[in-house]
Protein backbone atom coordinates (compact mmCIF):
# COMPACT_ATOMS: atom_id res chain seq x y z
CA UNK A 1 0.00 0.00 0.00
CA UNK A 2 1.86 3.09 -1.15
CA UNK A 3 1.81 6.15 0.98
CA UNK A 4 0.56 8.43 -1.78
CA UNK A 5 -2.83 6.70 -1.89
CA UNK A 6 -3.19 7.01 1.87
CA UNK A 7 -2.33 10.71 1.85
CA UNK A 8 -4.65 11.31 -1.12
CA UNK A 9 -7.62 9.68 0.60
CA UNK A 10 -6.85 11.51 3.83
CA UNK A 11 -6.73 14.88 2.08
CA UNK A 12 -9.90 14.22 0.10
CA UNK A 13 -11.72 13.25 3.28
CA UNK A 14 -10.47 16.35 5.07
CA UNK A 15 -11.50 18.69 2.26
CA UNK A 16 -14.98 17.15 2.04
CA UNK A 17 -15.35 17.29 5.80
CA UNK A 18 -14.38 20.96 5.91
CA UNK A 19 -16.63 21.75 2.93
CA UNK A 20 -19.78 20.65 4.72
CA UNK A 21 -18.68 21.64 8.22
CA UNK A 22 -20.56 24.93 8.38
CA UNK A 23 -23.96 23.72 7.18
CA UNK A 24 -23.80 20.22 8.58
CA UNK A 25 -21.25 19.60 11.40
CA UNK A 26 -22.53 16.11 12.21
CA UNK A 27 -22.04 14.70 8.72
CA UNK A 28 -18.67 16.41 8.40
CA UNK A 29 -17.54 14.59 11.55
CA UNK A 30 -18.79 11.31 10.09
CA UNK A 31 -16.85 11.99 6.90
CA UNK A 32 -13.69 12.27 8.98
CA UNK A 33 -14.51 9.04 10.78
CA UNK A 34 -15.18 7.10 7.58
CA UNK A 35 -11.92 8.35 6.04
CA UNK A 36 -10.00 7.06 9.06
CA UNK A 37 -11.76 3.69 8.87
CA UNK A 38 -11.04 3.47 5.14
CA UNK A 39 -7.32 4.17 5.55
CA UNK A 40 -7.02 1.60 8.32
CA UNK A 41 -8.86 -1.09 6.35
CA UNK A 42 -6.46 -0.47 3.45
CA UNK A 43 -3.53 -1.11 5.82
CA UNK A 44 -4.85 -4.45 7.10
CA UNK A 45 -2.75 -6.63 4.79
CA UNK A 46 0.51 -4.89 5.76
CA UNK A 47 -0.47 -5.08 9.42
CA UNK A 48 -1.13 -8.83 9.31
CA UNK A 49 2.26 -9.51 7.72
CA UNK A 50 3.86 -7.36 10.44
CA UNK A 51 2.08 -9.39 13.09
CA UNK A 52 3.36 -12.66 11.61
CA UNK A 53 6.90 -11.26 11.66
CA UNK A 54 6.56 -10.30 15.32
CA UNK A 55 5.21 -13.78 16.13
CA UNK A 56 8.16 -15.36 14.34
CA UNK A 57 10.59 -13.17 16.31
CA UNK A 58 8.79 -14.24 19.49
CA UNK A 59 9.16 -17.94 18.74
CA UNK A 60 12.79 -17.49 17.66
CA UNK A 61 13.66 -15.77 20.95
CA UNK A 62 11.64 -18.55 22.65
CA UNK A 63 9.52 -15.95 24.43
CA UNK A 64 6.40 -17.74 25.69
CA UNK A 65 3.45 -17.10 23.38
CA UNK A 66 1.23 -15.88 26.24
CA UNK A 67 3.35 -12.73 26.56
CA UNK A 68 3.14 -12.12 22.83
CA UNK A 69 -0.64 -12.53 22.85
CA UNK A 70 -0.92 -10.13 25.79
CA UNK A 71 1.22 -7.69 23.81
CA UNK A 72 -1.10 -7.93 20.81
CA UNK A 73 -4.20 -7.55 22.97
CA UNK A 74 -2.77 -4.40 24.55
CA UNK A 75 -1.94 -3.00 21.12
CA UNK A 76 -5.44 -3.71 19.85
CA UNK A 77 -7.11 -2.15 22.89
CA UNK A 78 -4.92 0.95 22.74
CA UNK A 79 -5.67 1.36 19.03
CA UNK A 80 -9.43 1.11 19.48
CA UNK A 81 -9.52 3.46 22.48
CA UNK A 82 -7.28 5.89 20.58
CA UNK A 83 -9.71 5.73 17.65
CA UNK A 84 -12.64 6.66 19.88
CA UNK A 85 -10.73 9.33 21.76
CA UNK A 86 -9.57 11.09 18.60
CA UNK A 87 -13.11 11.14 17.17
CA UNK A 88 -14.46 12.67 20.37
CA UNK A 89 -11.67 15.28 20.40
CA UNK A 90 -12.41 16.06 16.74
CA UNK A 91 -16.00 16.74 17.65
CA UNK A 92 -14.83 19.01 20.45
CA UNK A 93 -15.98 16.71 23.25
CA UNK A 94 -12.64 16.51 25.09
CA UNK A 95 -14.24 15.32 28.34
CA UNK A 96 -15.77 12.22 26.74
CA UNK A 97 -12.50 11.56 24.92
CA UNK A 98 -10.52 11.56 28.14
CA UNK A 99 -13.06 9.20 29.74
CA UNK A 100 -12.61 6.73 26.88
CA UNK A 101 -8.86 7.04 27.26
CA UNK A 102 -9.15 6.37 31.00
CA UNK A 103 -11.20 3.25 30.29
CA UNK A 104 -8.64 2.05 27.78
CA UNK A 105 -5.78 2.56 30.23
CA UNK A 106 -7.56 0.66 32.99
CA UNK A 107 -8.34 -2.30 30.72
CA UNK A 108 -4.74 -2.36 29.51
CA UNK A 109 -3.45 -2.32 33.09
CA UNK A 110 -5.72 -5.22 34.02
CA UNK A 111 -4.55 -7.15 30.98
CA UNK A 112 -0.87 -6.50 31.64
CA UNK A 113 -1.02 -7.25 35.38
CA UNK A 114 -0.11 -10.98 35.06
CA UNK A 115 2.92 -9.89 33.09
CA UNK A 116 4.01 -7.50 35.82
CA UNK A 117 3.43 -10.13 38.53
CA UNK A 118 5.59 -12.71 36.78
CA UNK A 119 8.28 -10.08 36.23
CA UNK A 120 8.30 -9.25 39.94
CA UNK A 121 8.49 -12.92 40.85
CA UNK A 122 11.52 -13.48 38.64
CA UNK A 123 13.22 -10.41 40.15
CA UNK A 124 12.49 -11.57 43.70
CA UNK A 125 13.88 -15.00 42.92
CA UNK A 126 17.10 -13.43 41.71
CA UNK A 127 17.56 -11.50 44.95
CA UNK B 1 -14.07 -0.65 0.43
CA UNK B 2 -13.05 2.25 -1.70
CA UNK B 3 -13.21 5.99 -1.80
CA UNK B 4 -16.78 6.07 -3.13
CA UNK B 5 -18.22 5.82 0.37
CA UNK B 6 -16.53 9.09 1.34
CA UNK B 7 -17.99 10.81 -1.72
CA UNK B 8 -21.42 9.32 -1.01
CA UNK B 9 -21.41 10.65 2.55
CA UNK B 10 -20.24 14.08 1.45
CA UNK B 11 -22.93 14.11 -1.26
CA UNK B 12 -25.60 13.32 1.34
CA UNK B 13 -24.21 16.09 3.52
CA UNK B 14 -24.35 18.67 0.74
CA UNK B 15 -27.78 17.50 -0.40
CA UNK B 16 -29.17 17.78 3.10
CA UNK B 17 -27.64 21.22 3.52
CA UNK B 18 -29.20 22.44 0.27
CA UNK B 19 -32.58 20.89 1.06
CA UNK B 20 -32.39 22.49 4.46
CA UNK B 21 -31.90 25.95 3.00
CA UNK B 22 -34.66 25.45 0.42
CA UNK B 23 -37.16 24.31 3.02
CA UNK B 24 -36.24 27.14 5.39
CA UNK B 25 -36.70 29.69 2.60
CA UNK B 26 -40.08 28.06 1.84
CA UNK B 27 -41.07 28.72 5.43
CA UNK B 28 -41.11 25.04 6.56
CA UNK B 29 -38.53 24.95 9.35
CA UNK B 30 -39.86 21.67 10.80
CA UNK B 31 -39.47 19.73 7.53
CA UNK B 32 -35.99 21.25 7.17
CA UNK B 33 -34.97 19.92 10.56
CA UNK B 34 -36.53 16.53 9.74
CA UNK B 35 -34.62 16.20 6.47
CA UNK B 36 -31.40 17.02 8.30
CA UNK B 37 -32.19 14.28 10.81
CA UNK B 38 -33.08 11.82 8.06
CA UNK B 39 -29.81 12.50 6.24
CA UNK B 40 -27.90 12.08 9.47
CA UNK B 41 -29.57 8.74 10.23
CA UNK B 42 -28.78 7.40 6.76
CA UNK B 43 -25.13 8.40 7.03
CA UNK B 44 -24.95 7.04 10.57
CA UNK B 45 -26.12 3.61 9.40
CA UNK B 46 -23.43 3.51 6.71
CA UNK B 47 -20.71 4.63 9.11
CA UNK B 48 -21.78 2.21 11.83
CA UNK B 49 -21.54 -0.65 9.33
CA UNK B 50 -17.98 0.34 8.45
CA UNK B 51 -16.94 0.90 12.07
CA UNK B 52 -18.28 -2.50 13.17
CA UNK B 53 -16.38 -4.08 10.28
CA UNK B 54 -13.22 -2.24 11.39
CA UNK B 55 -13.57 -3.43 14.99
CA UNK B 56 -14.27 -6.97 13.80
CA UNK B 57 -11.13 -6.88 11.66
CA UNK B 58 -9.04 -5.57 14.55
CA UNK B 59 -10.46 -8.26 16.81
CA UNK B 60 -9.67 -10.97 14.30
CA UNK B 61 -6.23 -9.58 13.49
CA UNK B 62 -5.02 -9.25 17.07
CA UNK B 63 -6.98 -12.32 18.26
CA UNK B 64 -8.43 -10.14 20.98
pLDDT value for A115: 87
pLDDT value for A66: 84
pLDDT value for B1: 65
pLDDT tens digits, A53-72 = 998 998 888 888 888 888 89
A34 burial level (CB within 10 Å; 0-12, 13-18, 19+): buried
Percent of chain A whose pLDDT exceeds 70: 99
Domain ranges of chain B: 4-61
ipTM computed for the complex: 0.86
Mention every residue, 6+ apart, whose C-beta is less than 8 A from residue A88.
Answer: A94, A96, A97, A100
**Mean pLDDT across A10-39:** 92
Q: How confident is the model at residue A96 (pLDDT cuts 50, 70, 90)?
A: very high
A contacts of B62 (beta carbons < 8 Å): 51, 72-73, 75-76
**Any A CB within 8 A of B59 CB:** yes
DSSP H helical ranges for chain B: 4-25, 29-62
Distance, in Å, from the CA atom of B63 to the CA atom of A20, rounded to the nearest integer, reads 38
Which of B48, B56, B10, B12 has its CA nearest to residue A41? B56
pTM of the complete model? 0.84
CA triplet B36, B42, B45: central angle to 5 degrees? 135
B contacts of A37 (beta carbons < 8 Å): 47, 50-51, 53-54
Amino acid sequence: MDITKIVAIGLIGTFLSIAIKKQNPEISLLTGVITGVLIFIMLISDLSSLINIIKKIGTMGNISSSYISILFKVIAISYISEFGTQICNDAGEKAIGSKIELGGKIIILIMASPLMLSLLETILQML
Amino acid sequence: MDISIVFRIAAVGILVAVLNQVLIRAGREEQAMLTTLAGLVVVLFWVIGYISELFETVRALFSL
